Amino acid sequence: MLRTVQAIVDPDGSVRLLEKVKLDRSSRALVTIFDRDEILDSLSSSSLSEKALGEDWNRPEEDEAWKPYQRNAQ
């Protein structure tokens, strides 16, 4: 099972999870370090446009328009 939790990595390399995690046993983890402001700006823009795009794309006309480009088009 994969699970993602937010954490802060201190300058000395210490990792502090921002939520409690309960595990049955010790587990391996990957830590991705990113520039906070850059990634949050990017995520914010994505989530703001998601609703508008979803409304536009989730229409029968869109499904029909994309039919020729689908692998199993009939």
CA–centroid distance for 33 within its chain:
15
Residue entry with tokens 């850059």: 38
Report how many domains make up the chain.
1
Reported as a single tens digit per residue, the pLDDT across 2-58 is 888 999 999 999 999 999 999 999 999 999 887 777 777 776 666 667 777 777 778
Q: Is residue 2 part of a domain?
A: no
Average pLDDT estimate for 59-67: 87
Q: Is residue 1 part of a domain?
A: no
Residue 54, pLDDT score: 77
Q: Is residue 15 part of a domain?
A: yes
Three-state DSSP class for 45?
Answer: helix
Burial class (CB in 10 A: 0-12, 13-18, 19+), 7: middle
Q: Is residue 74 part of a domain?
A: no
> Is residue 63 over pLDDT 90?
no
Q: Is residue 41 part of a domain?
A: yes
Range of the domain at 47: 7-69
Residue 12, pLDDT score: 96
- Residue 1's pLDDT band, with cuts at 50, 70 and 90, is confident
Q: Is residue 40 part of a domain?
A: yes
pTM across the whole model = 0.45
* Helix (H) and strand (E) counts in the chain: 2, 2
Q: Is residue 61 part of a domain?
A: yes
